[in-house]
Amino acid sequence: MENQPILEILAFTDPVCTWCWGAEPVLRKLRVWYGDQVRIRPVMGGLVEDIRAFHDRANGIGGDPEGSNAQIAAHWLDASARHGMPVQIDGFRLFTAETVSTYPQNIAVKAAELSDPVLAARYLRRLREASAAEARETGRREVLIELASTVGFNLATFIGHFTDGSAERAFQADLETTRHFGVRGFPTFGLSFGERAVLLRGYQTFPALQAVIETLSEGALQWRAPTPDADGLLGFLRTLGRAAPVELTTVFDLSLADLEPLLAGLETAGRIRRVIAGNGCFWEAITSSMVCDPVTGLCAI
């Protein structure tokens, strides 16, 4: 129906939260299976204002910036063993004496949203990859700007929002939304359909979210599973960008044993390539031997 409400999902998050990284397969599956019927809006919650005053007793994280890096890396590695998304702990250095907060990453995402809402989702994803799977020091301004360049932003516009206070004000508005909903941990998901709403705290499986969606919408939303074949995989990688194996098994409802020969066939045909990432990998589409991106102005082989 033309006037059918859209299911809104407020995804309370932080770009360097490991379980938010672990939620990527589920969120991508929601986008693919429900399409435009579901709108996901990230809300930047600011995980660590200052690591020197931060205390995560459950994981022994907090205090000295440099000392916290080893604690965080161990926590991320343990989480990766459970959620399946790749992490890089060699060279991991999220916090330093100069970078003691995750607020810069949150503000950068808001700068991306203000600069180009379409590219903003790609930027958040790229920021997660760089933080979790590449051990980049994403709290540094120069790294955040470099990542914006690779995604295709007009850097003058992005840097303008990042430095003139507009992105910080937008982040403060997100923090107010986070407080309004009583969110204290990430990820948290606020789902609403018309007048009905529910708040789900912590990591959620796709079946759990699907059950809530079906209940809230009273069956009004119709999902459509993608075709679990080589063409379906290639189309996904071309549309949403590179993906970890767990994302592909999740989105396409495939076992790893069924996924691997499909990937091997596409790799042999020169359609995709494997990119090593920490303790795992990504798969990405190859469009041609020479690719020139009209957005970034970058040609690559």
Rounded distance between C-alpha atoms, residue 181 and residue 30, angstroms = 22
CATH of the domain at 274: 1.10.10.10
Q: How many domains does the chain fold into? A: 2
**The model's pTM:** 0.93
Asked if 161 and 245 sit in the same domain, the reply is no
CATH of the domain at 165: 3.40.30.10
Q: Enter the tokens of residue 34.
A: 């429900």
Distances (CA, A) of 69 to 135, 218, 225, 237: 11, 46, 40, 32
Q: What is the pLDDT of residues 30-80, one digit of tens each?
A: 999 999 999 999 999 999 999 999 888 777 788 888 889 999 999 999 999
**In which domain, by residue range, is 92 found?**
7-180
User: How many CA atoms, within 13 angstroms, populate the side-chain half-sphere of residue 114?
Assistant: 23
The answer to whether residues 22 and 135 belong to one domain is yes
CA 287 – CA 291 distance, rounded (Å): 7
Task: Write the pLDDT tens digit of every residue in 198-230.
Answer: 999 999 999 999 999 999 999 999 999 999 999
Beta partners for 273?
284
Tens of each residue's pLDDT in the chain, 301 residues: 457 689 999 999 999 999 999 999 999 999 999 999 999 999 999 999 999 998 887 777 888 888 899 999 999 999 999 999 999 999 999 999 999 999 999 999 999 999 999 999 999 999 999 999 999 999 999 999 999 999 999 999 999 999 999 999 999 999 999 999 999 999 999 999 999 999 999 999 999 999 999 999 999 999 999 999 999 999 999 999 999 999 999 999 999 999 999 999 999 999 999 999 999 999 999 986 555 666 666 665 5
